Chains A and B, each alone.
Chain A
Amino acid sequence: MPLSTQSQADEGQYTLVASLDNARNLSNILKAITFKDHAIFSATPNGLKVTVEDNKTLQANAFIQAEIFQEFTIREDSVGFQVNLTVLLDCLTIFGGSTVPGVTTSLRMCYMGYGYPLTLFLEEGGVVTVCKINTQEPEEPIDFDFCSTNVTNKVILQSESLKEAFSELDMTSEVLQITMSPSQPYFRLSTFGNSGNAHYDYPKDSDMVELFQCTKTQTSRYKMSLLKPSTKALALSCKVSVRTDSRGFLSLQYLVRNDDGQICFVEYYCCPDEEVQEE
């Protein structure tokens, strides 16, 4: 078998080697941030971070800790490259990404260094696929400078409750307005669509609210088109943390549990659409 010998022979030359018994643990979480083709990969001994951006107003990050991988070897302090995410996902699910229990695709992902392709070895039921995805110079991700010390309001919810709200949102509205406040209405989602305005309120003592830390009444609007991609992450997640900072920037952190019960994080940062006068 030329494949196995080849991967063994080159072993020493790879700067990054990551293996997974179940490729879905990677492909699922990447699906949560697929809204643009280009993804910036940065690997450190702690794990892998994948960043996708849209027009300098939206950024999504997926974190896959080193422990999630069965093997995670990195020979430098940090390794960075950019690949086409849609292509990568097609490769990761080459065998159909089956959800049948007992049928999993195993993955070995190798990167030799600057200028080399990202090589994937995938195996399912004795069939092997080798993919070489060309890499590009990594772009510097935007620093949203979202600092936990500047966070004014924070709410942690069961994703279930937000999924329901998001599925019923009036998509004819151009913006989603989020109000967070220490007093009424506490946590409110509002839309302004063709058929009128709608408000979705969460009481702060609801079973669905795990943590409610609001210091100040804050109302910000976010473009619906920017928030739409985040529903992919919401669908996969079990908990979500909604935070806003003093500038009105929004941070959505999703806790995602994979097939093996391990936990990964997906995070979205979004710029506010416009200033709203506080009432």
Chain B
Amino acid sequence: MKFRAKIIDIGCLNHLTRVVTTISKLTKTCVLRLTADNLFFVLSGKVANGGVSMWCELSQVNFFDEYQMEGVSSEANEICLEVTAENLSRALKTVQNSKVVKVKLTKKHCPCLTVAAELPTLSSVSRVVTHDVPVDVIPRRLWHEFKEPSMPDFDVSIYLPPLKTMKNVVDRMKNLSNFLVIEANLNGEMNLKIETDLVSVTTHFRDLGNPPWGKDPGSQDGGRSQGRDPDSMAHARVDIRKLQQFLTGQQVNPSKAMCNIVHKRIVHLILLHEDASLQYFIPAVA
């Protein structure tokens, strides 16, 4: 098992830091899966974290100038590590202005992801800062828990409004209630609702547009959203904190933001960036 990677480009370093920081806002610990082509940050839905799951996919060539990895074996050429996202984010944040950043898997007192940064210097002596982020190596028999989640057979898929607007609304609603109903239809309309003894609030978004999933070859043909009345709403009631976490964590404006709703079951949020994608699943509550 071997992993070493190198970033020279400051833009890439910046971008990776933002992605890891976003992840750290969503979850305390997550699983970092390394393959020959990709890095995945994975959180699988467990009762302990309220059933929320996450899948973040980065293509290594877009971030690293050098990337070498050797998995546990040639037929299972992968590495799975459990890492505290915040520790990694903090390590990356402090090395923002370095010339070169190397990330490697090391064995110190325990397995670590070592972030070594070479800082700019005026003299001939180089300055190197090293952060050891402890990790747990996940044995192969548990890998099955961290596979890419399948696209749920949703009732409605819709583009999200500007995340900042949505965040403002959800932040206020959070002050008023613990649960929020998110509903949408195939006519580009989405509502966010709360209702308590004191107040009921509904925010209506219109003309959002619905992603054309059905036209993609081989995906969602004959799914639940086919032949659905465009005005009929699919809804899911969710823990408002989970949605808030997702919206608070967003540091970069995605090129596409979408939401899929399985009626009364799950809210599936997807953010697409040029070189990264994030999926977030919030289970509905009764």
Contact = CB atoms under 8 A, between A and B. Distances in A.
Interface of A: 1, 3, 84, 86-87, 90-91, 93-96, 117, 124-134
Contact of B169 (A1, A126, A129): A129
B205 interface: yes
16 contacts: A1-B206, A86-B175, A90-B176, A91-B176, A91-B201, A94-B168, A96-B168, A96-B171, A96-B172, A127-B161, A127-B203, A127-B204, A129-B202, A130-B201, A130-B202, A134-B198
Nearest to A133: B199
A128 B199 contact: no
Contact of A128 (B164, B172, B204): B204
Contact of B204 (A93, A96, A129): A129
Contact of B199 (A96, A124, A131): A131
B197 interface: yes
B205 A127 contact: yes
Nearest to A88: B199
B204 A130 contact: yes
* Residue with the highest number of chain A CB atoms closer than 10 Å, among B161, B197, B198: B198
Given A95-B165, A125-B165, A90 B175 contact: yes
B28 to A, nearest CB: 28
Contacts of A86: 175
Contact of A94 (B164, B198, B203, B206): B203
A91 B204 contact: no
Interface string B159-178: 00100110011011101100
Contacts of A1: 206
Chain B interface size, as a band, is 20 to 34
Contact of B206 (A124, A126, A132): A126
A93 B176 CA distance: 12
B198 A90 contact: no
Contacts of A3: 204
Interface string B139-176: 00000000000000000000001001100110111011
A87 B165 contact: no
A126 to B, nearest CB: 7
Contacts of A126: 206-207
A84 B203 contact: no
A219 B137 CA distance: 73
Contacts of B172: 90-91, 93-94, 96
B35 to A, nearest CB: 40
B210 to A, nearest CB: 18
B200 interface: yes
Nearest to B161: A127
A1 B197 CA distance: 27
Contacts of B169: 94-95, 127, 129
B168 A131 contact: no
Contact of A129 (B164, B175, B203): B203
Contacts of A130: 201-202, 204
A86 to B, nearest CB: 8
A61 to B, nearest CB: 23
B202 A133 contact: no
Contacts of A94: 168-169, 172-173, 201, 203
B198 A133 contact: yes
Nearest to A98: B168
A129 B199 CA distance: 13
A134 B176 CA distance: 13
Nearest to A93: B172
B278 to A, nearest CB: 23
B13 to A, nearest CB: 31
A87 B164 CA distance: 21
